[in-house]
Structure 1
Amino acid sequence: MRITNFRLIETRGKSALDTEYIAEVDVQEGAMFWKKQRTRKVRREYAGLWHFVDSGEFTPLFIVETLARAWTAQTGQKT
């Protein structure tokens, strides 16, 4: 599984303790000629880890956390 292209879509919440971040990432699965790429939504609550919205599984190996940090550095939007 290869995860790329983090895009922050929405930030919900009124205070820091109930903030929820929703983003999209491109996920590439498969090998060689059977590769499939699709866009999946991920979400994170305050002090939580990123997880996929459709399955509830946590994202592997802190990849999305790293992409979110890069997004914050480039755009200034907090993730």
Structure 2
Amino acid sequence: MRERTFGNPSIFIIAVLFGLAHGFSVKNSLEFRFEFYPFICTFVSGYVLSWITVESKSILLPVLSHNMINFIQTLMRMIK
């Protein structure tokens, strides 16, 4: 029988850390800010990418997916 990985606590922890890393920012005046929207977006993508890592037992697909997400976001900002 196959083990379920969707509720794996390590996936949740990595997603929270990924969200926090993208939710906090430092301004020029060394003021720390936390923005909720980037946290939620990167938490969800971090959860999905972590789950893909555990399921595929490889980091290659999540790294490529992360780079593709970054490329598409950058392209959308350039077109806008």
Structure 2-normalised TM-score? 0.30
Compare the two structures and name the one with the higher helix fraction.
Answer: 2
Which of the two has higher C-alpha Rg? 2
Work out which structure has the larger RCO, using CA pairs closer than 8 Å and 6 or more positions apart in sequence.
Answer: 2
Compare the two structures and name the one with the higher strand fraction.
Answer: 1
